[in-house]
Amino acid sequence: MKALTRTDFNLPGQVSVYHGKVRDVYDIDGDLLVMVATDRISAFDVILPKGIPFKGQCLNQIAASFLDATADIVPNWKLATPDPMVTVGLRAEGFRVEMIIRGYLTGSAWREYKNGCREICGVRLPEGMRENERFPEPIITPTTKADEGHDENISKEEIIAQGIVSKEDYEQMEQYTRALFQRGSEIAAKMGLILVDTKYEFGKRDGKVILIDEIHTPDSSRYFYAEGYEEKFEKGEPQKQLSKEFVRQWLIEHDFMNRPGDVMPEITDEYAQSVSDRYIELYEHITGTKFVPADSEGDIQQRIERNVTKWLESRK
């Protein structure tokens, strides 16, 4: 099984390229972005040494479907998906904040809560909560967006006071974040899933705040299966979930959390395939459609470059 872990294109109008942890982003004429969802996978702020077949396609197509499904409530950057692993859209000036919204107490928030923390990003948390318990209302816990290393928790008040985002723009992002989470939760519920928490990124174009990047994918979100949630919660058992958290848990079990001296465990072909299967499972659950693998018999890079070039040239 082939996996695309790097791209090196020369696209019409290309100004620059940015290789992120998972995505390669090509700037076209300073106006459009070609975002390639590669098969790289990251956890604990490090890219794992082996790609995951079809992961990029799953992420790209899930995000594209949700961008389309929420375009009536929040303007977004997407224009087209000329290849199963690519979205092309409008370039915007991104805000240096990620809007994280949580419907349930789990993951890093639970780890902090268990250690006695009762306030996250300026949001007070109720006493007596248990792991995976639903919040009375979803809470927004933003982080500053770091170029390298860990993103840092920050409160709404600090963001506005430091001038990272204006009060007006932040409140618009806050409103959009709640509307997106509500819509995402409704769609997930129809598919027998619970949207537990997720993150959104926004930018500004022509004076308007717009949604950018991916949304509601297993890399940016956490899902529980609705069936069995209550029973598992009452018994204090781990929830069955569809998210990248299972990769983090596997790394933790192999004593890797990217601490000094930690050694990355071997990613076997069998394990990479099992991760691929989990991504496909989420794709099919959340979209309600059968996953159709893109052609990977030939050179994946050549296929993508050909498809994107054809789309860009059709706009001239």
pLDDT digits (tens, 9 = 90+) for 29-60: 999 999 999 999 999 889 999 999 999 999 99
Task: List pLDDT tens digits, range 55-90.
Answer: 999 999 999 999 999 999 999 999 999 999 999 999
Domain boundaries in the chain? 93-243
Choose the CATH number for 93-243 among 3.30.470.20, 3.90.79.10, 3.30.1360.120, 3.30.365.10.
3.30.470.20
Q: Which of 229, 221, 218 is nearest to 192 (CA)?
A: 229
Q: Is the pLDDT of residue 199 over 90?
A: yes
DSSP characters for 217-253?
Answer: STTTEEEEESTTHHHHHHHTPPPPEEETHHHHHHHHH
d(CA 92, CA 205): 5
Q: Is the pLDDT of residue 146 over 70?
A: no
Return the axis-axis angle of helices 55-70 and 269-287, rounded to nearest 10°. 20
Q: Is the pLDDT of residue 243 over 80?
A: no
Q: What is the pLDDT of residue 278?
A: 87
Q: Could you tell me which residue, 245 or 202, shows the higher pLDDT? A: 202
d(CA 226, CA 114): 24
Q: What is the mean pLDDT of residues 297-305?
A: 91
Q: Which of 238, 145, 251, 148 is nearest to 196 (CA)?
A: 238
Q: Are strands 32-37 and 78-83 parallel, antiparallel or unpaired?
A: unpaired
Task: List pLDDT tens digits, range 250-280.
Answer: 999 999 999 999 999 999 999 999 999 988 9
User: Phi and psi dihedrals of 189, rounded to 5?
Assistant: -60, -35
Q: Is the pLDDT of residue 149 over 60?
A: no
d(CA 121, CA 101): 11
Amino acid identity for residue 223 in this structure:
Y
Please tell me what DSSP assigns to residue 77: -
Q: What is the pLDDT of residue 151?
A: 75
8 Å CB contact between 47 and 23:
no
Which residue has 């919204």 as its token pair?
Answer: 101
- Cβ neighbours of 32 (radius 10 Å): 20
User: Phi and psi dihedrals of 286, rounded to 5?
Assistant: -80, -30
Q: Is the pLDDT of residue 148 over 70?
A: no
CA separation (Å) from 62 to 72, 219, 221? 17, 11, 11
d(CA 46, CA 142): 21
Which are the contacts of 84, defined by CB distance < 8 A and separation ≥ 6?
57, 60, 61, 294
Which are the contacts of 92, defined by CB distance < 8 A and separation ≥ 6?
77, 203, 204, 205, 210, 212
Strands (E) across the chain are located at 14-19, 23-28, 32-37, 42-43, 46-47, 78-83, 86-90, 93-105, 119-120, 123-124, 133-140, 143-144, 152-153, 193-205, 208-212, 221-225, 241-243
